[in-house]
Amino acid sequence: MSRKCQPCNTGHSVVELAIAIHYVFNAPMDKILWDAGQHTYAHKILTGRRSLFHTIKQRKGLSGFTSRFESEYDPFGAGHGCNSLSAGLGMAVARDLGGRKNRIVTVISNWTTMAGQVYEAMGHAGFLDSNMVVILNDSRHTLLPKADSQSKMSINALSSALSKVQSSKGFRKFREAAKGLSKWFGKGMHEFAAKIDEYARGMIGPHGATLFEELGLYYIGPIDGNNIDDLICVLKEVSTLDSTGPVLVHVITENEKDSGGEFNSEITPDEEGPPDSSQDILKFLENGLSRTYNDCFVESLIAEAENDKHIVVVHGGMGIDRSIQLFQSRFPDRFFDLGIAEQHAVTFSAGLACGGLKPFCIIPSTFLQRAYDQIVEDVDMQKIPVRFAITSAGLVGSEGPTNSGPFDITFMSCLPNMIVMSPSNEDELIDMVATAAMVEDRPICFRYPKGAIVGTSGTLAYGNPLEIGKGEILAEGKEIAFLGYGDVVQRCLIARSLLFNFGIQATVANARFCKPLDIDLIRMLCQQHDFLITVEEGTVGGFGSHVSQFISLDGLLDGKIKWRPIVLPDSNRTDPFRATPRRTFVDEVRRKNELEKNEKLCSKFELVEDSQIAVSWIFFSLSEETEIAMADTACVHH
């Protein structure tokens, strides 16, 4: 794990827990569900995937999360977290209705206790009184659903002994018998006994433990999650309980020294303190690594916030990017990290805007999906000026399809009042931050990818607001016009240079805005070219669909123009090798520049010219299957 998954501190913390679970329970007959990716690494090794573990998060290798398509030991897929309890409860009910006796075990993370779905599932489990085991892996040492760290909870001999007593069959039966006996003495005595039980458990349990009891779960803990003997002892007792009802086992685990892993949200002590000047910020961000779009976004946001005290940041999603921590350090009172409570983050941002502030709601594309109802009802419908910075848009590399962001263009651009834009490079991103800060009459969003920036500029610049709904021509040609949206514009320029070698002069246009569209630019491209190719790193229904809607209603398709879209395939498969912060796009193109693959594609489609291949493969660093699909889509016969 240490060699193949750097960093994987959270994976190390659950090794003993994973061993104890598989020692006590009989998987795959007993269903074991996990809700956090790195927590599953030990589980994968223990369930027959050790020989393939070196392929994790690699092309055609093991998934970084549990996957129903990968192993029978993964009964349910995980990616965003907080879903295992709901799915496990559904399996428990199906088991009971089917008359089966297998066990259902769900392992949740302390980070998922910030999401409302966890408490919805707990309340339902308590109401149904279904027999299942919920294990709370707590590396923050607190049961309270807060993003900040609390003082560590101690696990001493007394608490360990009490946990073993709580989990014993004799104590559970005695407790249930006492509850039943109190009912014979009337409602008053029963309520009095319930209060005594609550106070007693509050005395021996940690702060917040009674919350789970109120939701209907039988609480056991805290237990040392790195003491395998104690874990096995408690889990054995829990597995033999015949009485119905959900049980929550609270285990405390210790991470190794943090090195910026998935859940790290703090700047480590050995790092430099918060920078004071612009040059210090640039030095801190560069640090020998390729600069990312996130770095440029934070630079420009800090610059805007220094001049506008009304700008605040609301951050949602799992963990905080190192560059975003700079804003938190500079403006701690104007930064709100809400973890994976994205629904609350969106409506909270709407409230901030109603109070006269300018909230920038920063959420990765894949996590923004969970807050869509709030975006529609609480923001767009009321035309509240929330500024959405959609990070990790498009393909995200080795995190796989669960963390990719291909859908945001589609689901944001269909909203009536939303301004939707995407930069073609880092300079345009800075301008879009300034544009978003300027808009005060409606919501606005902009997306940017996870990867490295296009250029190497080290100047901290203040952005210039863009004219809403206006694109630009980057290179003029004839016959073929590429209309790119987002950072794929850079790949359109590369494709143009390749086509030039075949005697084809293509026009490249940068749309900038998906909504509102630059209809004058689109009309001009259609009138002066034979072929219009829209290019985006998103799914069907996005930018290209908006363009086709316009040109069809405007009658442009009745003329000579032929329109073709290049989009991501209508599939959940994504290639893990998109450019990452430590691998530039140029490196990726060099790796993918395989002439024999181009020849294979030519043979497959019997294309007369190689230019179509140059058009197709240069756009996305995708799998061979995706390249073939895109080559088919991008075929333009002269």
Map out the domains of the chain with their CATH numbers. 9-168+207-252 (3.40.50.970), 278-447 (3.40.50.970), 472-633 (3.40.50.920)
Of 479, 485, 478, 544, whose CA–CA distance to 509 is shortest? 485
H/E stretch holding 22: helix 15-24
Distance, CA of 172 to CA of 177 (rounded, Å): 9
How far is 462 from 7, CA to CA, in rounded Å?
35
**pLDDT tens readout for residues 337-356:** 988 889 999 999 999 999 99
61 near 103, Cβ under 8 Å?
no
pLDDT at 174: 52
Looking at residue 382, its pLDDT comes to: 95
Q: For residue range 564-587, what is the model confidence (pLDDT) as tens digits?
A: 999 988 876 544 434 333 333 333
Give the three-state DSSP class for 565: strand
Q: What is the pLDDT of residue 571?
A: 73
Which are the contacts of 264, defined by CB distance < 8 A and separation ≥ 6?
Answer: 258, 319
Average pLDDT of the segment spanning 393-401: 75
CA angle 553, 555, 561 (to 5 degrees): 120
Residues near 75 by beta carbon (within 8 Å), at least 6 away in sequence: 28, 31, 32, 33, 68, 91
| 206 prior amide bond cis, ω within 30 | no
pLDDT above 50 for 321: yes
Pick 258 or 489 by higher pLDDT: 489
| Cα-to-chain-centroid distance, residue 149 | 22
Give the CA dihedral 362, 367, 369, 374, nearest 10 degrees.
Answer: -50
The predicted structure's pLDDT at residue 498: 85
Distances 584 to 291, 317, 452 between C-alpha atoms, Å: 9, 25, 5
- CA separation for the pair 447, 396 (Å, rounded): 13
Q: Is the pLDDT of residue 300 over 80?
A: yes
398 with 64: CB under 8 angstroms?
Answer: yes
Residue 384 burial by Cβ neighbours in a 10 Å radius (0-12, 13-18, 19+): buried
517 neighbors 550 (Cβ within 8 angstroms):
yes
- Assess whether pLDDT exceeds 80 at residue 246: yes
Rounded-to-integer distance, Cα 636 and Cα 16, Å: 58
Give CA–CA dist 492/508, Å, rounded.
7
Output DSSP code: residue 292: B
Q: Judge whether residue 195 has pLDDT over 70.
A: no
Q: DSSP for 370-427?
A: GGHHHIIIIIITTT---EEEEES-B--STT-GGG-B-SHHHHHHTSTT-EEE--SSHH
Q: Is the pLDDT of residue 286 over 80?
A: no
Q: Tell me: the pLDDT tens digits for 147-172?
A: 444 445 544 444 444 454 455 555 55
Evaluate whether 443 touches 383 at the Cβ level (below 8 Å): yes
3-state secondary structure string across 154-166: CCCHHHHHHHHHH
Question: What integer pLDDT is reported at residue 149 of this predicted model?
Answer: 45
Average pLDDT over residues 249-262: 64
Q: Give 116-168 as a 3 state SS string.
A: HHHHHHHHHHHHHCCCCEEEEEECCCCCCCCCCCCCCCCCCHHHHHHHHHHHC
CA dist., res. 526 & res. 509, Å (int): 12
Give me the chain's average pLDDT, please.
77
Q: What is the pLDDT of residues 410-462, one digit of tens each?
A: 999 999 999 999 999 999 999 999 999 999 999 999 999 987 777 645 555 68
The pLDDT of residue 88 is: 92
pLDDT band at 588 (very low <50, low <70, confident <90, very high): very low
Distance between CA atoms of residues 396 and 403, nearest Å: 7
What DSSP letter does each residue of 321-359 carry, written as one string? -TTHHHHHHH-GGGEEE-TT-HHHHHHHHHHHHHTT-EE
pLDDT at residue 204 is higher than 80: no
pLDDT of 544 > 60? The answer is: yes
Please check the confidence at residue 626 and state whether its pLDDT lies above 70.
Answer: no
